[in-house]
Structures are given as C-alpha cells and as structure tokens.
Amino acid sequence: MFDALPLLPADPILGLSAAYHGDTNPNKVDLGVGVYKTEDGLTPVLQAVSKAEALLLKEQTTKTYTAPAGIAGANLAAQRLAFGSEHSAINGQRIATVQTPGGCGALRLAAELIKKTRTNARIWVSTPTWANHMPLLGSAGIELIEYPYYDFERHNIDFDAMMAALDATLPGDLVLLHACCHNPSGADLSQEQWLAVTELAKHKGFTPFIDMAYQGFGQGIEEDAFGVRVMAEQLPELVLATSFSKNFGLYRERAGSLSIVGEDAAQARAIQSQVLSIARGLYSMPPAHGASIVDKIYHDQALQTLWITELKSMRERISQLRSDLVAALSQQQSSRDFSFIEREHGMFSFLGLNVSQVQQIKQGFSVYMTDNSRINIAGINKSNVDYLAKAICRVI
C-alpha cells in the first residue's frame, strides 16, 4: 500500500535545527527555530507555570475527558485577554470559543468550518506569512490568494499595495491578518492602519481572520490586541486563532483556542455547535494540561501578576536584543542601515541577505537562519551578538 510513497525533504526549519545540533563549532548561533530563549539559550518553564502545575497536581482527582469545548476557565481567559473584559462582543455573548490543540489546531478547525459554511470561500494571506499557514488552511480545500504586505527593500509594510490588493476582495472572502509580531517579518500594522483595514472590511464585506500567536511579545498585552478589539467592535463577524505557546511558554502542551465573533448571541451558539461537531471528527476532545495551566494562572491574582511580570521581562529582553544587534552592526560597518530591526516587534526579522549570503554565513560562521534571512531575535545573546554582527558584515 505504501511502497509508492516518495521520501519527502526535511522541513526547512527542522532541518536547520538538526544541522545546528550536528555542528561542532563552539561559536555556532541558532537563529532558526521560532521559540523564545533565555540568555543561556534555554526555552524556560515560567515560574507562574511551575507554580500553577504544582497546584494542579495537588488538586487533580481524575484524568477523564474534558468537556468538548475544553477547559471553560481557559476559554474565558482567552476571550478576556484577546477582547478585553468589558468588550461589547463579550457582554453581548457574540463570541463562540473552543479550546484547540495549539494555535495550529485553531487555524485548521477554522478552515474546516469555513469550508463547510462556504464551499467557494477564499482566504487572502500576506506575502510573506508564516509558512505553516499554507498547509493548515489550504489542505482544507480552501483557495488561498496572496496579498502584498512586506517590502523587502525598504524593510517596512507596503500598506498602499496591501490596501489596493484587498480592494479586490469579495463579500464572503476572509483576510488573514497577524494580530501582532508578524511572522516572519516583525513588521506590524499601526493603529491607524488597523482602522483603515477595518473600514475596508466594512466596505468590501470580507471577514477578518486574525492569527494571534504572540500577544504580549510586541508592545504589551493590551496594545497587541488593538486590531482584534476594534474589528470585533465594528464588524459583524471575526475569526480569531489564539496560541498560548509563546506568551505562557506552553509550546509542547499545545494550548490554544478558536474564537468566532457572530452578529448576535443566537448566531454565536449556532457557530459553537458547528465547531464542536467538526472538532469531534478531527480530534474528539482537546488536551487538558496546558489549558488548565492557563485557567489557573489567569484566575489566581498572584499567579497572574507573576505571569504578567515574566511576560514583560521576555518582551523587554527581545526589544533590547534588537537594539543590541543594531548597535553591533553599526559599529562594524556604515554602508547599510539596519535600524529597521529596532522598529519591528516580536521575535522575527529579515536581515535582507540573499540566499548565497545565507549559505556563506552558515558555512563560514555556523550561523543558522532560513534562506530568506529570517532570524529569531531571541536566539541572540550578549555572548554572541558581536560575533553575529561580524559574520553578517563579512558576507555583505
């Protein structure tokens, strides 16, 4: 049955990781895999998470299935973090939220619902976007259309081109937007631009489909949710995929949620029933551990305060690393302006190297990044930033 299956090439990111681990150069630098790292290169378990797990271990009396929608407290936390505690969509009971296996599960579950609801649906995705958006959404059988977003030469958002492209959307189309910390560019919409896209959505009739994987890693928990909140306030429908992998450090626990805003409470209840039916056929019941941690942290004031402090520390460290890299590059050369790195948010940025230069820096300096020169800022630390800057300057 399977004898005709060809061997597929390794995933580019995972292949980079394997090559890095096999490299014996003591100065090697891993800027590939998109996970947060400490100064020591570790992806930590947050103190708030450890404390919550200890409490859960004492309280837990069963390993039976969760409810189909998941941990109710985690879903409530997801809503309040994304929309704000007093948002009109929450007060009007317009939001259907279900727990999913990570942000990936939320994206795919949404895609299946969209395909079931509208067989000819189209989803517009930014160029570039997170690579996994394509298989997660496209494998559901939905047509994907790309719209221009990032100007690689100017290192900023080509907003005019973006808006001109989205002017061709049709009622019933969806537009995939990154809530904050755009992956892979780090270039985020301003508040004024979010408002402009919201007005365009009103005019054209498309539905925003927002992926929020990094809330709190950009400018702050509240600030990073601006687009979600204004669109949910002013538009009749919105799709939101949320991940707790980054801001709670729950990568392997696969904790996420899908929230869909409907026109009214009755529509939200109908949406909830449809989403749960689809989830039943995909994975049946969601995992409990990661969501239980989110529930515990959000609803324990001391733990929530600790988590917010730790999240702020991670955000500020990433911001400082951006400044450190720009300063180190400026000391090494003056022919190229890298200040755009400081204006971006989150863990990612494009250095502006070509494929040949990326290969040179990998082979000559053991610096690992994707072929389009996307780097994970969190892979930088005080001990390697000067080495990295010198390596970049050598290849440019």
Q: Is 130 a catalytic residue?
A: yes
Q: Cβ contacts of residue 179 below 8 Å, gap of 6+?
A: 210, 211, 212, 213, 214, 215, 224, 225, 227, 228, 240
For residue 249, give the amino acid letter: G
| Backbone φ/ψ region at 35: left (φ over 0), alpha (ψ -120 to 50), beta | beta
- Judge contact between 186 and 135, C-beta under 8 A: no
DSSP element (H, E) containing 374: strand 374-376
Annotate 307-321 with b (16+ C-beta within 10 A) or e (fewer). Answer: bbebbeebbebbbeb
Q: Is 390 a catalytic residue?
A: no
Report how far apart, in Å, the C-alpha atoms of 35 and of each of 13, 179, 191, 213, 293 are: 12, 18, 27, 12, 19
The residue from 130, 158, 194, 307 that is catalytic is: 130
CA–CA distance, 307 with 314 (Å, rounded to integer) = 11
Question: What are the two backbone dihedrals, phi and then psi, of residue 123, each rounded to the nearest 5 degrees?
Answer: -115, 125
The residue from 51, 246, 296, 362 that is catalytic is: 246
Look at the block and give the residue holding tokens 């689809």: 278
For residue 38, give the amino acid letter: T
The residue from 173, 211, 224, 295 that is catalytic is: 211
Q: Which residues pair with 44 in a beta bridge?
A: none
For residue 12, give the amino acid letter: P
Of 226, 283, 245, 231, the C-alpha closest to 112 is: 283
CA–CA distance, 82 with 316 (Å, rounded to integer) = 21
> Which residues are catalytically annotated?
130, 211, 246
